Chains A and B, each alone.
Chain A
Amino acid sequence: MNNQTLTINVNGKTYQVPPIPGETLSDLLRNRLKLTGTKIACEESECGACTVIMNGESVLSCSTPAIKANGKFILTIEGLAKFEKGELKLHPLQEAFIKNGAVQCGFCIPGQIMTAYALLQHQPSPTSAEIQHALKDTLCRCAGYPTIERSILEAADAVRTGKPVDNDPHVPTSSGGKVVGTAQARPDSVAKVTGAAIYTDDLEFEGMVYGAVRRAMVPHAFLKSINCDKARALPGVHAVMTAEDLPGEKNHGLVIYDWPILVGVGERVRYVGDALAIVAADSTDIAREAAALIEVEFDLQPVISDPVISRHPESTSLHANGNLLKHIKVRKGDVAEGFTQADVIMEEVFHTPSTDHLFMEPECSVAVPTKEGRMEVYVGSQIPYQDRLQVARALGWPEERVRIVGQLMGGGFGGKEDIAGQIHAALLAQKLGRPVKILWDRQESLLVHPKRHATQITVRLGAKNDGTLVSAQTELYGDTGAYASLGEKVLTRATTHSAGPYLIPNVHADCYAMYTNNPPAGAFRGFGVLQSAFAIESVMDMLAEKLGMDRIELRRKNALRVGSETSTGQVLRDSVGLVECIDKVKAEMVRVSGLEEKDLFKPRPVDGAKHLVRGWGFASAFKNTGLGGGADDCSGAHVELYADGKFEVRSAAAELGQGLVTVMQLVVCEELSQEPANVKVLVMDTDLTPNGGPTTASRQTYVTGNASRLAAIAFREHVTGAMAEKFDVSPDLIRFEGSGLQIGDQKLTFPQVYQELVAMGQKTMVEYEYHAPETKPLGVKGDMHVAFSFASQAAEIEVNTNTGEVKVVQVISANDVGKAINPVGLQGQVEGGVVMGVGHTLLEDFITENGVVITDHMSRYRIPSIMHTPKITSIVVEDPTSTGPYGAKGVGEIVLIPTPPAITNALYNITGLRLHNLPVDQEVVLQHIKTGQ
C-alpha cells in the first residue's frame, strides 16, 4: 500500500518511475516525463492551466499528488493531436481555437482545451451556459473568453458531425489589402494548441541549478545584519550571494537606476519585495529552503503607504532626492479665466486602487554562461535590449557580452518591462559558471513586480449652459511605490489625458508622482490613462446631469476633432475618429436595446425578476500611440530571403500574446505579395534581431509595423534593382508574386532569386531602422504624440437590488484603430480589453496594509473568468493616420480604458450611487439601495 513504483499511462505510453515524496502530478509530467505542455500558473487550484484528464475526468495536476495517478490513464495536451500518415491531425478543438484566434499568449490554452475536451466527453452538444459552467475556473488573462466559447461550440459540432471546423473566424475584416486586413491564424498557434510551445520555464540546460531570492518581507527598514552560514551549509546549495558580492552596477531601473539588485547591510529596505540575498541550489525547493535559513536583522522604520502623506515635508525621504519622483505639469490657456466663463463647475475627488497584471505565466529567467565567455539570458521580456543593458551593467561586462534570447510569453500587459529574475540568474550563473534558472511562484510575482499606480485624482470642470467645456483643472497623486520604474512616464500619461478626449481651451493639471513603501508601480495596459479616464468620464456624466443635457451629446459636442488642440498644445491633423465612435456606439445601443434615445439610460426592471434592474452607461477615451514626448521612437527590422525561398522578418519587439508577430508577418506579406506561410517571424533575440524598442505605449503595430513594412519595401527595391541590372529589364517590369519574381516575360522562383543574388554578390537581407516622426516634450507646443486612438463604450449592467451584486450584461466597444491590420488579433484585444476593464471595475483590488501585501495569492486577487464576461460587440472604426502602416495606430490599451466609467456610470443610472473609487463593492451598492446613502 506504500507503493515502491508508480506506473502511469500518459497519452498511451506507459511509464514506470519511483515515487518521490511531495511530488505533484504536474511535477511528474513536466520534470520527469518532459511533457511541458501542461502549464503551472498558480499552484493553488485557482486558474485551471494545469488541467489534465485522469481516467476520463479533468483534474488539476498541480494539486494532485503524483502517486494518485498510479495505475491511471492520463491525457495531456500533447496527446490530443494524432499523427496520421506522418501528418499532424489536430483535434477539432485545436483547429477551432487556432482559426478563431482563441489562442493569444497561449499559456492557459492547454488548460482551456483539456477542460473543454472533458466537457465534450460528457456533453457532446454543450450549450453556451454549459460551456461557461465548465470553464468557470479556467482563467485566461488575455480574456478571449467569447472566442473560446465560440470555438468550443464549433468544435463540438465538428466532433459530432465529423465535418471539419469551418474556415471563417467570424470577425470583422478590413478592406483594401491583399493580406493586410484579412483574418489569419497566428504563426505560433499550432505549437500553442499542441503543447509544443516552449516558454522559459520549459527550458532545461545541462548542469542547470535553480535560484531563489530572499526577500525583505518588511516594507521599510535598514538592514542591520545578514548571516548566510546556515544557507551555505545546507546540502545541495551551490552559491549564496549578498550585496557585497555584486561585481558591477548595484542598482537597476528602466529610467532611473534606483532599485537595488540586492540591499546591503546598512542600506534601506523600501518595500517587502526588496532582495537581500540570492541562492543557487540543486532544486528550487532546496534554494527556497536555503533562502529561508538566511538570518537577517532589521532596524524597522515607519512605513509611508500613502502618496499624499509621502509629500508632507515631515515624511522621511525614501530616496536621496526626496519622495517626489516628479511634479508633472500641463498648462494650456488660463484656467482661472476659464472658470469665470463657466455657468456650471463640477469638482470631484476620485481614488483608484493598485492592480496587478496577473499574466498567467509567472516570471522566469534562465541564465546560461557560454564557452565563449558570454551570458545568454532566456526570458520573456517586453524590452529585450533594456534587459541586455541592465544585465551587462550588473555583471560588470560590456553589453555585447550579454545575449537576451526572448521566449514565448504567457502575457505581459506592461508587467514584464522591469527586471524580474534576469539579473539575479545571471549573477549566480556568472559566479558558478553553470546555467541558473529562477522561476518565481505566484506569490513572489504578486509581491515583487511593479503594479498599476494607485491614484487620487481631483477634477474641476467648468462648462457653459450649452455644454461647451471652458476650463479643466486636475490634480493627481500617483503612488509610484518604492522605486521609479516607469512611474514618471505612466503618470505623465495620466496627467496629459486627465481632461479627457475633449477640446477645452483652458487646462491646468498637476501630478505628483510620489515614492512610498508600497510595491513599485510601473507600466500596466492603459498606462495611467485608465485612472484619469475613470475620473473625467464620471465627471462628464455628472456635468451632463447638472446641465440637463444628454450625456452622449455633451461628449460629442466637445469631442476632439481634426484641427482641435489637445491639452498639451498638439493640433490634431488627421485620424480623430472619436465622433464616429460615439455615433456608432449610440446607434448600436438603440438597435440592440430597442429603446428610444431619450430612454436609453433609464433603469429597467427585468421581466419576472423585479429585484434585477438593468441599465446602460457610456464613456469615451483616448490614448496615445507611441512613446512621444520628444523620445526617439524607433524600431529596426530585417527582411531576409533564404535559400529555400522562404522569407523572414525580424525585430526585437516583444510578442506577449497581443499578436505583433501576425502584424509583422502580414505587413511583409502585403509588400512582397506572399502567403503568410511563406514568411517566418523572429522576435526578441538581441543577437539576431535589431532593437525594436520597448513593447509599451500601444506602439508596436505602428513603430515595428512601419519598420517591417519599410524593410520589406527596401528589400523589394533591392531585389528589383539587382534583377533589373542582371536581366537588363526596366524595374517597372519586375513584380513580386506569390510563387516567385516576374521579370518581364521570365519567371524566377524565390530559391532561384536567392541563387541569383548570391551569385551577384548581392545581399539577401536588408535592414531598416524606422524613426517615428519627431515629437515634442511636455511643456513645448507641438506634437507630443504621433497619433492617438479613440474609443467609446456603452455598458449594460444588471444590479441585484436584494444583494447589491453587479453583473455586466453587454458592452458595445467602438475603437478607432486607424486600420485593422490583423482583425483576428484586434478582436482578441477588444474582448480582452473589455474583460480586463470589467475586472478592474468589479473584482480587482491589489490590497496593501501599511506596506504589507494582503493580496499575495491568486485566491485573494481575483481576475475575471468566463462567468464575468459580458456579450461584447466590437465596432471597428478606421480613421487612418497618415504616418502609420496602412494608416494603423495602437489598439492594445484603448480597448480597456472606457470600460470602468461606462460600468460605474450605468450603476449610477440604475441606483443613483456615484462611485468615487474602484472596484465596485456590492455591500456599498446594497447599502445605498436600502438607505439612499
Chain B
Amino acid sequence: MSIWKEYYQPRSIEEAVAVLSSSPAPSNIIAGGTDLMLDLNQGNHPPVNALIDITEIEELKTIDVVNSEIIIGACVTHNQIVKDQNVQNNADALIEACGLIGGPQVRNSATIGGNVAHALPAADGTIGLLSLNTEVEIASATGKRRIPITEFFVGPGRSILEGKAEFVTRFFVPLKKACQGSAFKRIMRAQGIALPILNNSVWIERDGDLIKEVRISIGPAGPTPFRAANTEALLRGEIFSDETIALAQQSILGEAKFRTSPRRATAEYRRQLVTELFRNTIIQAWQRTF
C-alpha cells in the first residue's frame, strides 16, 4: 500500500487551495516533507489520498522586506533563512533557531512553514518566531487572513488549520529598530529523540537602562508554544539588572507549566534548567540592543 495516491504540485496559492478543497480526505499539504514523510513511512500518519506539494509556488519561497516587515514565505527553508541578509540583520533569534535544526540536508528541505504548521510546543523555529511577534498568513478558499502566531496553536501537534482546507502561506516579522535585540538558545539531551529538552527565545527593546518592551517564548512549557506573558509584564519598565533577571526567573517558574517527558527530562529538571537558560538568553538579547 502506497503512502500516497496522488501527488500535486500546484503553481499558485489559488490552485493549491482548489486542489486541497476538492481532494477526497485524507489529503495533506506537504512542503519540505521532513516531518510528514517520516510520519507516513513509520505509520504514525495514515496513508493519504493526496499530497499537495506547495514548494513549487514561487511566491512562497522568497524572503522580502516590505515597509516595516520581513515577509517570509512558508516554503522558505531553514538554510535559506540562515543565509538571508535581511533576516540576519533583523532577527537574530530566528537565525539562531533555524541554524540549530538538524543537519544541512534537513535544513535544505525543511521549511519554516512546516516547522510552525507541525505545531510542536518546542519547535525551535516556532519558538524563535513567537518572541519576534510574528504574524501568520493563512490561505483558504475565501482568501487570505493574518493572525498573530500566538493564536495559531490549539494543542500539541494541533493548529487552527485542523480539518480545514487551509494552509500557511507567509510570516510577517517586524523589522528590527534601534535598541532592539533578540536571541535564541536551547538545551539538548544526548540520548533519545533530537528535540530540545528546553528552548527559549527572547526579544527585547531597551530605553537607556530600562526594559521598554520584552517578549519571552519557551518550549516545551505547556501544550502549545508558550509566551511568558506575566513575566513580560513584570519586566516592562524595569531596569535591566541581575535583580530584575532574578525576579523574572522566579516569575517564569510561576507561570510556565513544565511537564515530565519520560526518558527525556523531568519537570523538575526543566525548572532547574530554565532559570539559567533564560538568564543567558536575555543577556544575549540585551547585548544586541546596543
Residues of A within 8 A of B (CB): 1-3, 19-22, 24, 43-46, 48, 51, 57-60, 63-65, 67-68, 70, 115, 118-119, 134-138, 285, 289, 443, 611, 802-803, 805-806, 842-845, 847, 854, 857, 859-860, 862, 868, 919-923, 926-927, 930
Whether the Cβ atoms of A22 and B4 lie closer than 8 Å is: yes
- Contact across chains for B191 and A919 when beta carbons are under 8 A apart: yes
Asked whether A45 lies within 8 Å of B104 as measured between CB atoms, the reply is no
23 contacts across the A-B interface (CB closer than 8 A):
A1-B19, A2-B9, A19-B7, A21-B2, A24-B37, A44-B38, A45-B38, A45-B102, A45-B106, A57-B79, A59-B105, A63-B37, A65-B7, A68-B33, A68-B55, A115-B105, A289-B1, A611-B276, A845-B191, A854-B263, A862-B192, A919-B191, A922-B189
Decide: A1 near B104, CB < 8 A? Known: A862-B191, A923-B269: no
A1-B11, A45-B106, A67-B7 are known; give 5 further A-B pairs, CB within 8 A: A21-B5, A44-B41, A57-B79, A802-B276, A845-B191
Q: Are B9 and A3 in contact (CB under 8 A)?
A: yes
Is A58 a contact partner of B7 (Cβ separation < 8 A)?
Answer: no
Contacts of A857 in B (CB 8 A): 42
Q: B34, A45: Cβ atoms under 8 Å?
A: yes
Nearest CB in chain B: distance from A284 CB, A: 12
Closest 9 CB pairs of A and B: A137-B103, A22-B2, A21-B2, A63-B37, A57-B108, A802-B276, A923-B269, A60-B105, A22-B3
Chain B residues with Cβ below 8 Å from A843 are 190-191
Known: A3-B9, A64-B33, A138-B103. A285 touches B190 (CB 8 A): no
Chain A residues within 8 Å of B51, by CB: 65
A residues within 8 A CB of B273?
Answer: 802-803, 926
B42 and A44 form a contact (CB under 8 A): yes
Whether the Cβ atoms of A21 and B263 lie closer than 8 Å is: no
Q: Are B15 and A1 in contact (CB under 8 A)?
A: yes
Chain B contacts of A22 at CB under 8 A? 2-4
Q: Which of B183-230 contact A (CB under 8 A)?
A: 187, 189-194
B265 at the interface (CB under 8 A from A): yes
Cβ-defined contact, A923 with B266, below 8 A: yes
User: Judging by beta carbons under 8 Å apart, are A65 and B104 in contact?
Assistant: no
Chain B residues with CB under 8 Å of A927's CB are 269
Q: Which of B9, B41, B42 contacts A67 (CB 8 A)?
A: B9
Find chain A residues with CB under 8 A from B266 CB: 923
If A843-B190, A930-B272 touch, whether A59 touches B108 (CB-CB below 8 Å) is yes
Inter-chain contacts of A3 with B (CB < 8 A): 7, 9
- Docked complex Cα distance between A443 and B44 (Å): 14
Q: Which of A65, A443, A611, A857 has the most CB of B within 10 A?
A: A65
With a CB–CB cut-off of 8 A, which chain A residues contact B37?
Answer: 24, 45, 63-65
- Beta-carbon contact of A43 and B41 below 8 Å: yes
> Which residue of A has the minimal Cβ distance to B106?
A45
Q: Which residues of B contact A64 (CB under 8 A)?
A: 33, 37, 109
Beyond A134-B103, A859-B193, whether A1 also contacts B109 by CB under 8 A is no
Mark each residue of chain B from 68 to 93: 1 if its CB lies under 8 Å from any CB of chain A, else 0.
00000000000100000000000000
| A65-B51, A854-B263 known; A118+B104 contact, CB < 8 A | yes
| A59 with B191, Cβ < 8 A, contacts A65-B7, A923-B269 known | no
> How far, in whole Å, are A289 and B1 apart by their CA atoms in the complex?
7
Interchain CA distance A847-B193 in the complex, whole Å: 13
Q: Which residues of B have CB within 8 Å of A67? A: 7, 9, 53
Pairwise interchain contact A803-B103, C-beta atoms closer than 8 A: no
B42: chain A residues at CB < 8 Å are 44, 443, 857
| Central interface residue in B10, B108, B190, B194, by most chain A CB within 10 Å | B190
Closest residue of chain A to B266, judged by CB? A923
Chain A proximity mask over B1-45: 1 for CB below 8 Å, otherwise 0: 111111111110001000100000000001001100110011000
Residues of B258-272 whose CB lies within 8 A of A:
263, 265-266, 269, 272
Q: Could you tell me if B38 and A63 are in contact, using CB atoms closer than 8 angstroms?
A: yes
Report the bound CA distance from A58 to B77 in whole Å.
12
Interface contacts (Cβ under 8 Å), in number, total: 131
Query: Count of chain B residues with Cβ under 8 Å from any Cβ of A?
Result: 45
Cβ–Cβ < 8 Å partners of B194 in chain A: 46, 859, 862
Is the CB–CB distance between B269 and A1 below 8 Å? no
Are A58 and B4 closer than 8 Å at their CB atoms?
no
Q: Which of B103, B190, B272 makes the CB contact (< 8 A) with A842?
A: B190
**A63-B33, A63-B37, A118-B104 given; A21·B4 CB < 8 A:** yes
Q: Which residue of B lies closest to A868 (CB)?
A: B190
Is B79 a contact partner of A1 (Cβ separation < 8 A)? no
Q: Which residue of B lies closest to A3 (CB)?
A: B9
A68-B53 contact, Cβ under 8 Å, with A58-B108, A134-B103, A922-B190: yes
Quick one: closest A residue to B193, CB to CB? A859
Q: Which residue of A lies closest to B103 (CB)?
A: A137
- A2–B191 contact, CB under 8 A? no
Which residue of chain B lies nearest to A52 when distances are taken between CB atoms in the complex?
Answer: B105
Most-contacted residue by chain B among A3, A138, A802 (CB, 10 A): A802
**In the complex, per-residue mask of B105-116: 1 if CB is within 8 Å of any chain A CB, else 0:** 110110000000
Least CB distance from A129 to B in Å reads: 13
In the complex, chain B residues whose CB is within 8 Å of the CB of A136: 103
Which residues of A have CB within 8 Å of B11?
A: 1
Q: Are B276 and A803 interface neighbours, CB within 8 A? A: yes
- How far does the Cβ of B74 sit from chain A's closest Cβ, in whole Å? 16
Q: How far is the CB of A626 from chain B (nearest CB, A)?
A: 35
- Chain A residues contacting B19 (CB-CB under 8 Å) are 1
CB A857 to nearest CB in B, in angstroms, measures 7
Q: Nearest CB to that of A921 among chain B residues?
A: B191
Interfacial chain A residues near B269, Cβ < 8 Å? 923, 926-927
With both beta carbons as reference points, the residue of chain A lying nearest to B192 in the complex is identified as A860
Interfacial chain B residues near A58, Cβ < 8 Å: 104-105, 108
Q: Report how far A408 CA is from B221 CA in the complex, Å.
A: 48
B residues within 8 A CB of A860? 192-193
Closest residue of chain B to A864 (Cβ to Cβ) is B190
Question: For B109, what are the chain A residues with a Cβ–Cβ distance below 8 Å?
Answer: 59-60, 63-64
Task: Give the distance in Å from the alpha carbon of A788 to the alpha carbon of B91 in the complex.
Answer: 59
Q: Give B33 Cβ to nearest chain A Cβ, in Å.
A: 6
> Distance (Å) between the CB of B145 and the closest chain A CB?
25
Chain B residues near A137: list those with CB within 8 A. 102-103, 105-106
Contact of A2 among B7, B38, B102, B189 (CB under 8 A): B7
CB 8 Å contact bits of B249-290 with A (1 = contact, 0 = none): 000000000000001011001001100100000000000000
Query: A2 near B104 (CB under 8 angstroms)?
Result: no
Q: Give A119 to B5 CA distance when docked, in angstroms.
A: 35
Least CB distance, B214 to chain A, in whole angstroms: 22
The CA of A868 and the CA of B187, in the complex, are separated in Å by 15
Please report the C-alpha to C-alpha distance between residue A161 and residue B194 in the assembled complex, in whole angstroms.
Answer: 38
Interface centre among B7, B38, B105 (most CB of A within 10 A): B105
**Given A1-B9, A65-B51: A803 and B104 interface contact (C-beta under 8 Å):** no
A549 to B41, CA, bound (A): 57
Query: Within the complex, what minimum Cβ distance (angstroms) separates B201 from chain A?
Result: 18
Beta-carbon nearest neighbor of A66 in chain B = B7
The answer to whether A1 and B8 touch across the interface, beta carbons within 8 angstroms, is: yes
Tell me which residues across on chain A come within 8 A of B102, comparing CB atoms.
45, 137
| B207 CB, nearest partner CB in chain A, Å | 30
B128 CB to nearest chain A CB (Å): 18
Give the complex CA separation of A1 and B1 in angstroms.
23
Tell me, rounded to whole Å, the shortest Cβ–Cβ distance linking B254 to chain A.
Answer: 20
Once the chains are docked, how many angstroms separate the CA of A1 from the CA of B13? 13
How many angstroms between the C-alpha atoms of A390 and B2 in the bound complex?
Answer: 36
The answer for the CA separation of A21 and B51 in the assembled complex, in Å, is: 10
Interchain CB contact under 8 A, A21 and B6: yes
Q: Which of A2, A51, A923 contacts B265 (CB 8 A)?
A: A923
Looking at A22, A45, A138, A806, the one whose CB has the most chain B CB atoms below 10 A away is: A45
Within 8 Å CB of A46, what residues of B?
194
Residues on A with beta carbons closer than 8 Å to the beta carbon of B106: 45, 60, 137
When distances are taken between beta carbons in the complex, the residues of chain B under 8 Å from A926 are: 269, 272-273
Measured CB to CB, the closest approach of chain B to A453, in angstroms, equals 19
